[in-house]
């Protein structure tokens, strides 16, 4: 069975066609700069790559172009071979604690929570509609970034603010990266040779966006992102947790409105803000090599906050079998993994320096006598989307 996993952004469309249940990737690619004259369509299949720069005015045009290519490149004989389409949707609010087959009611609910994710949900819906129009008879499934965290208890997800903020406006912790946290926790159980129900793991998804998750028996019990993806640990350009009063203070000092200050916390903080150099971990580690003090501060601040969250989640879980590293930095930057591990000595964590040189491959990177295993696990959100699509359309 062939399933398409889709991640639609406001001007982009990422796709992967997978053979299920083998989970083999048949084609993958991305359409970028949708709506501009020089849109870029990239498709990879086998060891071939095809890139085209042309005007792709809408997501509908992008989807039709993709489907035409699948036929023209002889990847598919007929579009009927695609049996399901799975869409990443960022925010499911409190409506969705699992993936779901897309119906008109589901589209309404995704629309309703759009004010919680104004940049993402409308874009995700554009992708859903474009595929619905191009493939009207093929079932589609929505897979939510927030769904995995709906198992958090009320004490965890509520903020200590006027209760009406929650009842009137839905102000609470939702958490994100759920599809990745779920995938990695399943892989961790496999690597630990345990049933998922018997595992306690902490997942560090550290990419340009970054969040931690405490997973008990396969269920999320806490996560570091909150009402929005701005909270938690410092990221490429996001600040992570700060005292909210700073927003008002800077607004007055710099004569900026609240939107402008929040924008700086989202786009000019984190690695970029502290280093003044770059939001990219590779640039920062190069600068650290040269002894650049602000870059050292930026990576160490992140390392400390990751370790602080791990300490808190260790207590919340009542112990922990494994700490897992995933996403761009977690999978590739051994330097960041070491910074974190060095702060976890009190938990009996011991990093194996040789194994920590590994990049992007499932590996145990702790020593034999480490009290908690350290695991490097490349994430795979597309596979989770495809698995849920198959489960729900069957």
List, by residue number, the catalytic residues. Answer: 145
Give the footprint of ligand AMP on residues 354-373 (CB under 6 A): 359
Q: Contact between 208 and ligand AMP (CB under 6 A)?
A: yes
Q: Specify the pairing of strand 24-32 against strand 13-19.
A: antiparallel
Nearer to ligand AMP, 49 or 359 (CB): 359
The least distance separating ligand AMP from the CB of residue 204, rounded to whole angstroms, comes to 12
Q: What is the DSSP letter of 101?
A: E
Q: Which stretch binds ligand AMP (CB under 6 A): 70-78, 156-164, 278-286, 298-306?
A: 278-286
**Residue count, binding to ligand AMP (CB under 6 A):** 12
Give me the sheet containing 363-364, strands edge to edge.
219-223, 210-216, 200-206, 322-326, 373-376, 363-364
The least distance separating ligand AMP from the CB of residue 127, rounded to whole angstroms, comes to 19
Nearer to ligand AMP, 56 or 203 (CB): 203
| Cα maximum dimension of the chain | 63
CA dihedral 295, 298, 302, 303 (to 10 degrees): 40
Among 4, 147, 214, 327, binds ligand AMP (CB under 6 A): 327
Q: Contact between 281 and ligand AMP (CB under 6 A)?
A: yes
Q: If DSSP codes are grouped into helix, strand and coil, which group holds residue 372? A: coil
Helix (H) or strand (E) holding 144: strand 139-144
Q: Contact between 332 and ligand AMP (CB under 6 A)?
A: yes
Q: If DSSP codes are grouped into helix, strand and coil, which group holds residue 216? A: strand
Q: Specify the pairing of strand 39-45 against strand 24-32.
A: antiparallel
Among 106, 135, 310, 329, binds ligand AMP (CB under 6 A): 329
Q: Specify the pairing of strand 322-326 against strand 373-376.
A: parallel
Helix (H) or strand (E) holding 289: helix 281-289
Q: Contact between 391 and ligand AMP (CB under 6 A)?
A: no
The least distance separating ligand AMP from the CB of residue 12, rounded to whole angstroms, comes to 14
The least distance separating ligand AMP from the CB of residue 156, rounded to whole angstroms, comes to 25
Tokens of 330: 């977690």
CA distance 87 to 48: 25
Tokens of 194: 């345990």
Q: Contact between 234 and ligand AMP (CB under 6 A)?
A: no
The least distance separating ligand AMP from the CB of residue 164, rounded to whole angstroms, comes to 36
Q: What is the DSSP letter of 198?
A: G
Nearer to ligand AMP, 224 or 332 (CB): 332
The least distance separating ligand AMP from the CB of residue 328, rounded to whole angstroms, comes to 2
Among 175, 218, 234, 236, binds ligand AMP (CB under 6 A): 236
Q: Contact between 251 and ligand AMP (CB under 6 A)?
A: no
Query: Which residues sit at the interface with ligand AMP, rule CB under 6 A?
Result: 207-208, 236, 280-282, 327-329, 332-333, 359
């Amino acid at each position: 069975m062939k399933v398409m996993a889709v991640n639609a952004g406001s001007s982009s469309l990422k796709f992967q066609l997978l053979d299920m249940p083998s989970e083999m990737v048949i084609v993958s690619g991305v359409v970028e700069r949708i709506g501009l004259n020089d849109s870029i369509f990239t498709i990879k299949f086998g060891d071939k790559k095809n890139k085209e720069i042309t005007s792709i005015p809408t997501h509908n045009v992008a989807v039709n172009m993709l489907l035409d290519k699948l036929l023209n490149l002889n990847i598919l004989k007929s579009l009927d071979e695609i049996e399901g389409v799975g869409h990443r949707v960022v925010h499911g609010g409190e409506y969705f604690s699992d993936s779901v087959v897309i119906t008109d009611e589901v589209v309404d609910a995704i629309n309703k929570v759009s004010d919680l994710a104004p940049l993402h949900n409308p874009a995700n819906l554009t992708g859903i509609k474009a595929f619905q129009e191009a493939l009207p008879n093929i079932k589609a499934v929505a897979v939510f970034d927030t769904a995995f965290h709906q198992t958090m208890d009320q004490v965890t997800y509520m903020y200590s603010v006027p209760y009406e903020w929650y009842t009137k406006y839905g102000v609470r912790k939702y958490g994100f990266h759920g599809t990745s946290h779920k995938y990695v926790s399943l892989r961790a159980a496999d690597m630990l040779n345990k049933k998922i129900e018997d595992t306690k793991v902490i997942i560090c998804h550290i990419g340009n966006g970054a969040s931690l998750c405490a997973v008990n028996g396969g269920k999320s019990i806490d996560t570091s992102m909150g009402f929005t993806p701005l909270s938690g640990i410092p990221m490429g350009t996001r600040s992570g947790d700060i005292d909210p009063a700073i927003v008002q203070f800077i607004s007055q000092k710099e004569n900026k409105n609240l939107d402008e200050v929040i924008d700086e916390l989202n786009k000019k903080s984190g690695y970029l803000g502290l280093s003044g150099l770059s939001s990219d971990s590779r640039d920062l580690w190069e600068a650290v090599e040269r002894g650049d003090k602000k870059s050292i501060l930026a990576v160490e601040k992140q390392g400390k906050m990751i370790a602080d969250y791990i300490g808190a989640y260790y207590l919340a879980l009542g112990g922990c079998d494994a700490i897992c590293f995933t996403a761009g930095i977690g999978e590739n930057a051994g330097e960041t993994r070491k910074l974190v591990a060095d702060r976890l000595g009190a938990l009996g964590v011991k990093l194996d320096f040789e194994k920590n040189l590994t990049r992007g491959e499932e590996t145990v990177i702790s020593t034999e006598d480490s009290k908690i295993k350290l695991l490097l696990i490349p994430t795979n959100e597309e596979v989770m989307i495809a698995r849920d699509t198959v489960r729900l359309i069957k």
